[in-house]
Structure 1
């Protein structure tokens, strides 16, 4: 009897947690996946420059290229009208101030393109990458400060 109660409680908790998930095919789910990929990639690049990770020129170049490619993807997953979904960390201002939001998106794309170009110069030298990485991080932070709910 006790085993069935415990099993029921575990099943109920699993169902409750499962219901809170975002549909990965929804616009919200798609942009969250891209943003998580962007975060992981930029953290790895910054980690290589700051000594948290071992610097690997080939991996850095691949990461910079990947970051540049995915930096252009999340914007298409912001519908014209805000979704009524929990789980979004976007402020209403994303939809109310589209011109500014798009401006910051273009600034991020420009900074990742600059980083990608810097990462193509061989031999790769860490000091030449510090400013481009800082610009990417600043572009991310600027958009988060204006448009993300913390």
Structure 2
């Protein structure tokens, strides 16, 4: 009986990998980075909106982490769209590279400004709202132009 359950568990694991994105592919790598960016951004926004307790050190460290993450997904967009796997990136990413790169640099600038705003203690949450909003706005601007929902 135990063998049957072990076999079913192994089969389930094998099937769960079918049809997924290869985590080592450019698409898999950028998806992982974007998920990490989203988690970090949600935590920072949550601290400023009262969903999470504000922790000065965690906020400053999170801003640095978000800034570092923000500089990495762009290298995982190859010059030509990949054929395999579903992606939420519109074809415009590859057809309008200059604009895509412009929005990527704007995102990087907004996270750098957030790091600067959170670099000198004591941190006051109300003074971090505007820099955090600029980060969120830069995410939204790129999504509106280049992400298929």
Same fold (TM over 0.5): yes
Unaligned runs of 5+ in 2: none
Shift of 1:23: 1.1
1:120–1:7 distance in 2 versus 1, CA, 3 Å: closer
> 1:101-136 deviations in whole A, cap 9, x for unaligned?
000000000000000000102110101100000000
Shift of 1:7: 8.5
> What is residue 117 of structure 2 aligned with on the other side?
118
After the TM superposition, which segments of 4 or more aligned residues of structure 1 sit over 4 Å from their partners? 4-14
Q: TM-score, normalised by structure 2?
A: 0.91
- Within 5 Å, which residues of 2 pair with 1:67-146? 67-146=66-145
In 1, Cα distance between the equivalents of 2:5 and 2:51? 43
Q: TM-score, normalised by structure 1?
A: 0.91
Q: What is the aligned-residue RMSD (CA, Å)? A: 1.9
> 1:4-33 deviations in whole A, cap 9, x for unaligned?
999888766554331122111110111011
1:122–1:85 distance in 2 versus 1, CA, 3 Å: same
- Contact 2:114–2:128 (8 Å) recurs in 1: yes
In 1, Cα distance between the equivalents of 2:23 and 2:5? 30
